Structure 1
């Protein structure tokens, strides 16, 4: 490399050598944590009174609104506090904090919006602000391209949402979401299908489900705090959107089955893509695709409250993983201790724990005790329990006896906690229409159940590692937009 002076195409960070003296980061952080406390108060009042408050036709504060306020402000507060140090020295720190605060306020407004124009406008603003955060480092060509990719997807999502709401508003004569949902009986079948299809597409674009995952996989140029906010909060908007418009879908078995199929394909694809990633942020991106697939799957099963529960838990989990990703790099070493995944005793413990988890979930929630889509939800819990138990048994360094006895107790406690949280959120959302609307079983449900079981067997036995063609296909599917890659082999070519 001697004799050459090269500039990496990724560009250099425009940072100052001393932290910013601006008061905006501190004021913004204080404002968000104040909003969090106010959100907790609103949630407590909602739980105590069970009533919704509204400015007729403009905003409506119900259980879902109060819950989303608490969740959004909490994650935003964590990101604000973390960013005070992480972004120190960044030349555009004021712009970063201004956008994160604006994003928080916009999402809070969207969660409360009842007027269709306000809802559509905040949905659009939410996407544009996130695109700006993805392209925060404007000196990077790759960041500008990534922001453009995201912006195009978010504009498409907003256009679809506006079109769907416009059709519903035109056919019902209502200008509020509550008015539209109260007049769905007046909507012709064709109009309902067109509107429902547009709203569903808006949801899956925003949540980066297949085949719209490219914008999410291309967003790695975003600062880590922005990525945490994106993966913990922004992508969950698809589940909130479908929950708001649940009555539009809940009574249509074919539509719900389609939602199940799309969610299942994305969940399975995300899990498969996760297997071939080589860096932490890409792994987390593939994981988010899988988790959003599970969330939309739960909507399709008719358990919208379960989807809200899922997005909250996923938000906590993903925010922690992104914000601690640097420590993960430092602490990860090759050749870590792993136990044999096919050990007969371990397999037996895993199976018994999974069955116990399924029974516990069914007893506590009542789901899976009838011949309807609740069976599929319970199966997902069983497979999740089986996977978690197997993973803990493989990685634990505890003595064998403690490992085999303690692991089931820990996993079953977690399932019990999840079931209790699901019940609590279901109760909180009792004033939100159709948040629990199980559907009859169809061939799609049986196919999804079989696909999930087969995928678990394939990955457990390692069959996926034996196909080079499958590996290449997964690698290709997980590629971001090529112009958003921060390094290419040409950057290291001295010729």
Structure 2
């Protein structure tokens, strides 16, 4: 095999460069943090070797143009992640977490193998670039896209494949950081890499949208029910991966990639700083808000969504699927304003508007820049707006209102029994697998530290 043949197995484009930059940056940060965090550990050097190999495998995967090399890199990433999760193999809960994750990754591996086999049958090529640019809408291709979606869902902890992530909290903090900032993003990268094929099959995009929305709603609600910092962050990651999938389902793969990158960096910071939050008390936001405060917050959210629309050069109420991100910005801006306004909505209204504007400008500019640099790949192709898009946006808005005005009621006696029953069932469903929970201090193994 000549050098030319070797180089033909790889493809470096702007998507690869973005992912390599993200992974390298996060790997460096986690490595610096781990230098002191893991000091004194008996497996100190093995830990750093696994981290290095994991980052190398992710980079190798992002530049692979051959489906076999991509598959090998994918498997290496998951095996190394499992090894890092079971860093303390004598701790039964940690070992159970790693075993659960490995089973999930194995299921995802089966899906992606089937997908690549079907894509090869459909195109007769091992080249990813050839495959994505030669869509034929055959049965093999449609089935392969479904398998790729399932593999992405297992990797990104999308419901109902979320349990491995919410049960992974026994891992060392640096491992949790790189897991939530890198490994779970693998599902998003997989979908973005094969985005041209999904554009040719709108029905599958609708399935992606629904799957993402369900996971986003569940993760967001479950997060509010947790009392443990890491468990809260795990549910948050599940919800954010759901929002990422929603954007893919809307045909906005560029926005999904932007969401993926910024969420990864922010979530890594939250995990690395989670130790300091153990002594903090939760902020009393004064929920449920009074009507004046709520109305002012809605005005701030509406203004923020308008600013977001202007920056991205589309209408405030567009007739395509970009309406959904506008709606999400509206809810996010209103929620942010509620934190500022609280008990003095009139006096703090200008401050709320200013902060909402700043956030809308930052997020809007972020999406616009990603759209600009990824324009050669044409990853932003909004779909026509359908009634079910509107319906699901309404459901999302009502869920937000439920969280504000029902969950934060002062006394449980004010709530109907059926609401309390749903709350208890959702709380139980959000818990990690019992085998991964340590209920007594004797269950911790400190012998290797």
TM-score, length basis structure 2:
0.91
1:209 counterpart = 2:154: no
Q: Find the counterpart in structure 2 of residue 276 from structure 1.
A: 225
Q: Deviations over 1:208-234 (max 9, x none)?
A: 000000100110110001001111111
How far apart, CA to CA, are the structure 1 residues paired with 2:17 and 2:234? 28
- Secondary structure of the 1:462 match is helix
Whole-angstrom distance in 1 between the partners of 2:427 and 2:65: 42
Match status 1:386 vs 2:334: yes
Q: Distance in 2 between matches of 1:393 and 1:293?
A: 29
Q: Which residue of 2 aligns with 1:419?
A: 364
What does residue 447 of structure 2 align with? Answer: none
User: Which runs of 5 or more residues in structure 1 are unaligned?
Assistant: 1-52
Q: Residues 6-85 of structure 1: matches in 2 within 5 Å? A: 57-85=8-36
- CA shift, 1:64, in A, is 0.7
**Which of 342, 357, 361 is the aligned partner of 2:304?**
357
Q: Which residue of structure 2 aligns with residue 317 of structure 1? A: 266
After superposition, the Cα gap between the structure-2 partners of 1:489 and 1:107, relative to the gap in structure 1 and judged at 3 Å, is closer
Aligned equivalent of 1:428: 373
Structure 1 residue matching 2:11: 3-state secondary structure? strand
State how far apart, in whole Å, the 2-side matches of 1:164 and 1:464 are.
45
Instruction: Name the CA distance, whole Å, in 1 between partners of 2:420 and 2:113.
Output: 44
Contact 1:339 1:393 in 2 (8 A): no
Q: How does 1:170-249 map to 2 (within 5 A)?
A: 170-185=121-136, 187-188=137-138, 190-249=139-198
Post-superposition offset of 1:484: 0.9
Write the distance in 1 (CA, Å) between the matches of 2:202 and 2:281: 49
Determine if contact 2:340/2:351 at 8 Å carries over to the other structure.
no
Task: Tell me if structure 2 keeps the 8 A contact 1:158–1:202.
Answer: yes
Q: Is the 8 A contact 2:122 2:141 kept in 1?
A: no
Q: Which residue number corresponds to residue 422 of structure 2?
A: 470
Matches of 2:394 and 2:345, distance apart in 1? 33
TM-fit CA distance, 1:489:
10
What secondary structure, in the 3-state scheme, does the structure 1 residue paired with 2:225 have?
A: coil
Task: Give the aligned partner of residue 20 of structure 1.
Answer: none
Give, in angstroms, the shift of residue 450 of structure 1: 1.3
Secondary structure at the counterpart of residue 69 of structure 1: helix
Provide the rounded CA distance (Å) in 1 between the counterparts of 2:7 and 2:442: 59
In the alignment, is the contact (CA less than 8 A) between 1:367 and 1:377 conserved in 2?
no
In the other structure, the counterpart of 2:412 is: none
3-state secondary structure, aligned to 1:184: coil
2:387 equivalent in structure 1: 443
Cα deviation 1:251-285 (Å, max 9, x = unaligned): 22211111110000000000111121110010001
**5+ residue gaps, structure 2:** 410-414, 444-449
- Asked if the contact 1:143–1:222 (Cα under 8 Å) also holds between the matched residues in 2, the reply is yes
Q: Relative to structure 1, is the Cα distance of residues 133 and 393 closer, same or farther in structure 2, using a 3 angstrom cutoff?
A: farther
CA distance in 2, matches of 1:463, 1:66: 43
Give me the whole-angstrom Cα distance separating, in 2, the residues matched to 1:251 and 1:367: 23
1:138 aligns with 2:85: no
Q: Which moved more, 1:260-269 or 1:150-159?
A: 150-159
How far, CA to CA, are the matches of 2:383 and 2:311 in structure 1?
20
Contact kept in structure 2, 1:149 and 1:215, CA below 8 Å: yes
Cα RMSD for the two superposed structures:
2.2
SS at 1:371 equivalent: coil
Using structure 1 for the length normalisation, give the TM-score: 0.83
Q: Return the match for 1:487 from 439, 444, 449.
A: 439
Contact 1:362 1:378 in 2 (8 A): yes
- Cα distance between partner residues in 2 of 1:337 and 1:182: 53
Deviations, residues 327-352 of structure 1 (Å, cap 9, x unaligned): 1112x136x55445523442232111
2:213 aligned partner = 264
Shift in Å, 1:54: 11
Q: When the two structures are aligned, how many residues end up with a matched partner?
A: 432
> Is the contact made by 2:296 and 2:345 (CA closer than 8 Å) also made in structure 1?
no
The offset of 1:407, in angstroms, is 2.6
Q: Does 1:376 align with 2:324?
A: yes
Q: Secondary structure at the match of 1:60?
A: coil
Report the Cα offset of residue 155 of structure 1: 1.5
- Distance in 2 (CA, whole Å) between partners of 1:77 and 1:481 is 31
- C-alpha separation in 2, matches of 1:477 and 1:340: 25
Tell me, yes or no, if the aligned pair for 2:292 and 2:345 is still in contact at 8 Å: no
